[in-house]
Amino acid sequence: MLTTLPLSEEVAYLKRSVMRDLLKLAVSPDIISLAGGLPASEFLPLHEFQQCLNTVLERDGARALQYSPQSTELREWIAAYMTQRGVKCDVDDIFITSGNQQGLSILSRLLLNHDDAAVIEQITFTGIQQVTAGRGAHVLTVPTDLQTGVDLDALEDAFREHPRLAVLIPDFHNPLGVSLSAHKRQAIAALAARYGVAIIEDDPYSALRFAGETLPPIKAYDEADVVFYLGSFSKMLAPAMRLGWIVAPRELMPKITVLRESFDLESSTLTQRAVYEFLSQGLLEPHLKRLNAVNHERRSTMMDALNEHLGDLAHWTQPEGGLFVWVTLPENIDTWVMFGSAVAQNVAYIPGASFAVDGGFTNTMRLNFSNVSPAQIHEGIKRLAEVIKTWTL
């Protein structure tokens, strides 16, 4: 049956995910998928988490299954973690979410009216597009340097147009793999303060660093309290936790709480208890050590395979963490058009244009290295290179 009911304006702004449709084509078990965005399934902390969940249920009994407020212990742990990363905060500045996508939704509703200007990167995670363009905002885009992150001059130009907010990904950008340089983090906080623009710092990936120097978040330089930091347990622990956090000025917490209650009443408090148990037993550090070692090996394998098979044809980013590599091919190749040929050769990727807010970037692709074995990476890149070579002839 087809409904004839009128729908809200917001629904009209939302873009259907062409990427999702496209990936439905890539379901054969023979396909090596470099298209995903998942941590390695075989290295998720299954047994540790099972034991933590049992501990919580045995110790806390029915209380663990009841309606209850956000876990103060978990918020305290997060406040200490953020303080150690250079962000001055305490438990009252921390709000638990069901992950960064929910954090993005809450903050866009807190800060942005329909038709207000919002700044996002020309190439960015589709969930960031959903909470800005997807809510009817007037979107101003800024380019991103593939070595150092967002272009500061362009950001300042955009700030002169009085946007309400800018959304940036500081570490191991999705889909570009690049991180903001230390200098740019500091400069962005200063620009935001000068122009009175809120920054939403969307950071699901910083704990996934396997090389290079750890950098403080933009929020660490935020003297004016205009930066809202979003952290997530999805990639550092497991996506199914559906837990993340916002660091925000404490006087906004009542508004954030009410806004959040319009989506759901609370993130699972059972999961909050179990995650706190995991963290308080000191299990995060060994888990991250293992995971990052695996990601490092897989990233290096991908770099080697790209060099071997595409060295003279393409260039790509060199991520020091996270999950993604961004590849730029010769201009005459359209990676949407090429996708069918790649799937026919049993290899899949995400066409870069699906992240391009203003269009273009048709000769780019995002590759994932975390959820494929080194052998699959070698074979996948070899197959991909064969396809690319037939399209460059």
Ligand X SMILES: Cc1ncc(COP(=O)(O)O)c(C=O)c1O
Residues of this chain that bind ligand X (CB under 6 A):
37, 99-101, 125, 127, 169, 174, 202, 204, 232, 234, 239, 244
| 385-to-193, 276, 300, 338, 351 alpha-carbon distances in Å | 46, 45, 17, 12, 15
231: left (phi over 0), alpha (psi -120 to 50) or beta: beta
Environment class of 106 (CB within 10 Å of its CB; exposed 0-12, middle 13-18, buried 19+): buried
- Nearest approach in angstroms of CB 323 to ligand X is 8
Q: Which is nearer to ligand X, 71 or 130 (CB)?
A: 130
Question: Rounded to 10 degrees, what is the CA torsion of 320, 321, 322, 328?
Answer: 20
Q: At what angle do helices 46-60 and 269-280 cross, to 10 degrees?
A: 110
- Nearest approach in angstroms of CB 128 to ligand X is 7
- Nearest approach in angstroms of CB 191 to ligand X is 21
Q: What would the two tokens of residue 166 be?
A: 């800018």
Q: Which is nearer to ligand X, 185 or 383 (CB)?
A: 185
CB 298 within 8 A of CB 368: no
Q: Which is nearer to ligand X, 106 or 158 (CB)?
A: 106
Q: Which is nearer to ligand X, 164 or 366 (CB)?
A: 366
Q: What would the two tokens of residue 392 be?
A: 């460059």
- Nearest approach in angstroms of CB 87 to ligand X is 18
- Nearest approach in angstroms of CB 169 to ligand X is 5
Q: Which is nearer to ligand X, 20 or 389 (CB)?
A: 20
Name the residue whose CB lies closest to ligand X. Answer: 99
Q: Which is nearer to ligand X, 96 or 343 (CB)?
A: 96
- Nearest approach in angstroms of CB 317 to ligand X is 15
CB 215 within 8 A of CB 178: no
